Structure formats: structure tokens, C-alpha cells
Chain A
Amino acid sequence: MIEARRISMVYPDGTEALREVSFRVGKGEICSIIGPSGCGKSTLLFIFSGLLKPTAGEVFIDGERVNSPRKDVSLILQDYGLFPWKNVRDNIAVGMRVQGFSEEVISETVSKLIKKIGLEGFEKAYPKQLSGGMRQRVAFARALALKPSIMLMDEPFSSLDALSREKMQDFLIQIWKETFTTIILVTHNIEEAVLLGRKIIVLSDRPGTVKEIVENDGAARSKYRYEEEYFEKCREVRRLVGLKDYG
């Protein structure tokens, strides 16, 4: 379980990014965080990952306070965070190398993952030779290689076209169903937040505060897209985010 307790963040230049943000995400839950751009969504993920210290408040994961990156937490940065100088295989393997797995284990795990993400034949390709969707899948594979219990994702699908986006959302749902990893995903896309998040945390404009927490039990199924409840939730979230409802 992840718990944010009254997190506030003021950057050294005086920008107040977050103010007293508190919420909980249960084990194995998918949670979307949505809010206008600049509301501190990414800051929040960095704090969860242990890369950034909040100016006030604390994050607990399974009862332990977070103050440095944890081995069981994977962060997927916006634009995937892949290294242009590493090929697909080495990009997927880098987390395991850093954590000191043996080359034998790494090789086996990476081969399995490449198969799983359907990139066989691209092992030696460099990120710039891949499409956006393929890069996204490599980033997933890199995170999954560490068998994390928590995955944090910053705008994972924002630079994909609509079709690849939908495919990747389904892929994420499939991964979640197989692993029941706790997933926190930041997005500015209302439909995406509703499709994926069983819990939707709506943040206000800067400084980000929790405006509302929406329970969304039907989420994280690809068929949800076509259901009345989904549209209902989208309207609700749209209203909460502060957009006018013309529906």
C-alpha cells in the first residue's frame, strides 16, 4: 500500500507545486492522477519514487517511509526514459544490471520480455529506430524486468497516436491482470484516467491539492470503453477537472 501524508512541495525558486496532498492507493490497485498541466502531477510521482524529497509530508510504502529509490518501485518517465546509446536488449537489461542480477538471469528474463512485448528481431535496434509505441513497450519491459510491486508512470501514452494509444492501454491492462502490480499513472487525458484508474485522484490547479477522489470500480477492462458507466464517469471527471459539460 502507498500512502501520501500531507505532501507539500515548494521548489527552491519559490514555485509551490503541491500543497498538503494526502491519499492512499491499495495493493494491486490501478490509480490515475489527473489534473491541469503544471499542477504538480509529475512532481508527485518523483516524490513517490524517492528521487525527490517533499518540503513537508511523507510517503509510506507498506508502512516504510520513502526517502530514496526503492528496488520494488519502477518509474517510467515521460518520453519513456530510454537511453539512446543502448539497444533494445541493453535498455531492458539496464535496471537488472544496476541491481546486480547475474548475466544468465538477465539474458533469460530479457529474452522472455522481448517476446512478450512482440519486439523479436528488434533486439539490436536503437530507440531512434523504433516507433513511439515500440519505445513505450521497451520502457514497460525495462520496468517489468525488475518485477516491481509498484509501477509509477508519467504520461505514459501522451506522445502516441490514438490507435497505438488504445493498443498500449490494453497492453497495460493485460500486464496489470497478469501481475496485479500496483500502478499509479499520471495523465492529463480524462478518458485515459477513467478507462484505467479504479481510483481517480483529481488534482486542482497549481499548487496541486486533492480536489476529489473518484471510485471507479469498472475500470481496467478494455471493454469498459463501450459501456454507459464509462461515459458517465468521464462526464463526472470532466466536471470535476473544471471543464464545462456540454453533454
Chain B
Amino acid sequence: MVLGIMAEVIAKIGFGRKVKGYILAIIAILILWWVGASLYSSPALPSPLVVVASFFSDLPLLAPHMLVSACRVIYSILLALSFAIPIGLISYKERVDSLVAPFIYLLYPIPHIVLLPMIILLFGIGDASKIFLISMIVFFQILVTARDAARNVSDYYILSLKSLGANEFDVFKHVIFPATLPKILTAMRISIGTAIAVLFFAESFATSSGLGYFILDSWSRADYNSLYAGIISMALLGFLLYLFVEFLEKRFCRWV
């Protein structure tokens, strides 16, 4: 199924040109890395060939960690979306916004990552606290974007729909949500990067699974090849999520 989606993504985004671009970029990065590794010549910066080889030989070991990390990130993003989108979008109503906006302004600027001790005290050291931490940070990123986007939807479209006899729910379904979807997807793209960064942080303690654990564990064992294989896996995870959002965009925002 994953392959099917990827094939569709690649077909949708214009196979030839885009894929050529990606391949060129990968080659350029590998060459730069290779040059850096040969100049530096230290086991702390192995050559890309060695790392790619160890990525494939570590794959049976890496795969379960990758799966765990992927689940954590995806759950977190879904959890964040399921709260941020409704709250953000309903803020198109002035009355709701006057309630929501003060909370956003007060709570958004806090560096949420410092709440980690509190979250662990409340949710324990299991997956719940990791997911909560990631989704809280992503929640605000998406909420702020969704709210701004909803408030910028022109009254013209709302009136146009209301003149057809629409109620508030219809306005939401036919105007506010589709009009703001491109902005929400952009916010999602940004939050994927954030989510993975926070994931690494969240997996750096009190766990024995996930890519963050794998990377730190390899580091402590001075197994640099595995360390880099773990880093590549994390990058790959982000890239796949990006592709998925791109797919959603091509599928649902064709009008843009």
C-alpha cells in the first residue's frame, strides 16, 4: 500500500522533472559528505558508502525502531490536528476568537519543551508523555496557522453560501475548511520537521525503543556507522511524511 501511495505521489508531482531533481540533490549531498569525510578522515565522520552499507545491514535491527518512531510521530500529529483544526477554524467567528485568542497569545510563546518534567510527572515515562509533548508543540503551530487562515476567509464566500440557505455547519464544511486547507497543509509540513526534532528529544531518555534511542545508544557504544544509519533513518522518516503531505495537497487542493 505504501508503495502504491508513493507511486501515485511520484506520478502526481510530475515524475520526470521532480524525481530528476531529487536524484541530483541526493548525489550532490553524498558527494559533499564524501569529500568532507575524506578530508576529515575520522571514524566520527564515516564515508557515505560505509554508512549506506551499514544502514542496509542494520535494517533488520533498525526497522522496529523506525516503526515505533513513526507511530509516535503520526499519533502525535493526528492528535494535534484533531484539536487544532476545529478550534482554529471555529475562530473565524469573532465571538469565539475573543475567547480563544488570549489563550493562544499567552500559551503559544512558552517554549513547551520545558514542560517535559511536568508532563512526565503527570503521564509517566511511557509513550503517553512522549506523544503528549510532541502533539502539544505541533498543536500550537497548527492552531495559530488555522486560526489566521480562518479569519482571513472573505465574508463574500460566507454570504454567497448563506444566501443559498446554509447554516453554520454548512459554512464550516463548504467554505471555511476547504478555503483554509492549503494553509493547514503548509502548517503540517512545517510541523513534521518540528515533530521529528521533538521526537528525538523525547526518545533520548527512559526508553529502549525508537530512532532517538537507537542513535544515542550507538553513540554511547561509539558505533558511528550505526549512529549515522540511525540519522539517515530519521531523515527518511521525515521525508516520507513530507511526501505524504504533498500527496494530500495534490489530491485535495488541486484548485490552488
Contacts and interface: CB of A to CB of B under 8 A. Distances in A.
Interface of A: 46, 49, 51, 69-71, 73-75, 77, 79, 81-87, 94-95, 97-99, 126-128, 142, 146
Contact of A98 (B161, B178, B181, B254): B161
A77 B175 contact: no
B255 A51 contact: no
A95 B157 contact: no
A107 B165 CA distance: 19
B164 A146 contact: yes
A74 B163 CA distance: 7
The 7 closest A-B pairs by CB, nearest first: A81-B160, A75-B163, A95-B164, A85-B178, A126-B255, A98-B166, A85-B255
A81 B157 contact: yes
Nearest to A96: B164
B165 A99 contact: yes
13 contacts: A49-B163, A69-B164, A81-B163, A85-B178, A86-B255, A94-B164, A94-B174, A95-B164, A97-B174, A98-B161, A98-B164, A128-B255, A146-B164
Interface in B103-122: none
Given A77-B156, A77-B159, A126-B254, A83 B166 contact: no
Given A85-B178, A86-B178, A77 B160 contact: yes
Interface of B: 156-157, 159-167, 170, 174-175, 178-179, 181, 253-255
Given A94-B161, A146-B164, A83 B254 contact: no
Contacts of A142: 164
A74 B164 contact: yes
B156 A83 contact: no
A75 to B, nearest CB: 4
B162 A95 contact: no
A73 B255 CA distance: 29
A234 to B, nearest CB: 31
Contacts of A97: 170, 174
Contacts of B174: 83, 86, 94, 97-98
Nearest to B166: A98
B165 A71 contact: yes
A83 B164 contact: no
A46 B162 CA distance: 11
A30 B162 CA distance: 24
B161 A51 contact: no
A98 B165 contact: yes
B178 A51 contact: no
Contacts of A126: 254-255
Contacts of B253: 85
Contact of B157 (A46, A51, A83, A98): A83
Contacts of A84: 255
Contacts of A46: 159
Contacts of A87: 255
Contacts of B181: 85
A30 B126 CA distance: 71
Contacts of A146: 164
Contacts of B163: 49, 51, 69, 73-75, 77, 81
A51 B164 contact: no
A98 B170 contact: yes
